[in-house]
A and B are shown apart, each in its own frame.
Chain A
């Protein structure tokens, strides 16, 4: 049973467009929602994260939109660049153990 669902599986956008990656979750006790990106052959790296006390978190071109009622959150990448091409994972965790439950990933390709 996948507790964190991610879509789409793959996404292609043109340079300069906004890429939108979506996630949903089931467990209402989740209280931390990070997004990671991963380049081929590398380990995942934290991009941006949000807690449910907020419904929006911005960091440069990256924005998380969070909807607690619908248990959904999304990552918007504005002005997408070819260097943003990577696999993006959403995740969720709860409590002090910090166990992250990852989505299956979205492979983003930004065409120049």
Chain B
């Protein structure tokens, strides 16, 4: 069954520390996305990628880096975690072709203290 798997499911990080959120998909999808969800803000796009070894900035990329080493894997990196980055992070994948549906992962709940 096609799936998007995120790890870890939850994490507590210290301010100023480095955090890496991982996403793995078995859908054979070209597109992958990282969104964050905050109460009152819906979902906002951080980074996305349409091919391995290439990433694109989304709407709120500041403070985040992304890495797509293979079609299956897409990571989100917080080099210097800050309190404001406490949120739930969702990874999603989508096949090439306009208006195709996303497959979302289960989310990673990040608490920065």
A interface, CB within 8 angstroms of B: 6, 31-32, 34, 42-46, 49, 51, 89, 93, 95-105
Q: Which residues of B contact A103 (CB under 8 A)?
A: 42
Residues of chain B in range 31-62 having any CB-CB distance to chain A below 8 Å: 31, 33, 40-45, 48, 50, 56, 58-59
* Cβ A98 vs Cβ B94 within 8 A: yes
* Residues of A with C-beta under 8 A to B43: 44, 89, 100, 102
How far, in whole Å, are A100 and B31 apart by their CA atoms in the complex?
12
Interface residues on B, range: 20 to 34
> Which residues of B does A touch, CB under 8 Å?
31, 33, 40-45, 48, 50, 56, 58-59, 90, 94, 96-102, 104-107
* A99 near B45: Cβ-Cβ < 8 Å: yes
Our count of residue pairs bridging A and B at CB distance below 8 angstroms stands at 56
> Shortest CB–CB separation between residue B34 and chain A, in angstroms?
12
B90 contacts A44, CB within 8 Å?
Answer: yes
Residue pair A104, B98 in contact (C-beta under 8 Å): no
Taking CB atoms, residues of chain A closer than 8 Å to B101 are 34, 46, 49
Q: What residues of chain A lie closer than 8 Å to B90, measured between beta carbons? A: 43-44
